[in-house]
Amino acid sequence: MDEELLHRQQPQSLEAEQAVLGSVQDGDVILLHDMTMSSVRAALSIVDTLHEQGFRFVTASELARLREIRIKPGLTYRKFPPTQEEVK
């Protein structure tokens, strides 16, 4: 890959990381794309950082099941908040 292109993508990678890491909460659904090297780097860094912070990674279906939410076709889900029992 062109070195100049890598330098141009660096700020995009940091912006993506800061946007996710600055607002992520328990139960959030995070969708990351692998369209460019910068988005791949951002995704890997985000996953590593969240793992170090104690987050677990599961599929959306598994998270919905854990949170006792029945997924309905045609709806968009951005988060599956903790149940009342998990908050206690």
Q: Cβ distance 62 to 39 under 8 Å?
A: no
Which stretches of the chain score pLDDT less than 50?
Answer: 1-7
| Closest alpha carbon to 55 in 33, 25, 79 | 25
For 9-30, the pLDDT digits (tens) are 556 778 889 999 999 999 999 9
Q: What is the pLDDT of residue 10?
A: 59
Entry pTM: 0.74
Q: What is the pLDDT of residue 27?
A: 94
Distance in angstroms (rounded) separating the CA atoms of residues 56 and 62? 11
Q: What three-state secondary structure class fits 75?
A: coil
Q: What is the pLDDT of residue 37?
A: 84
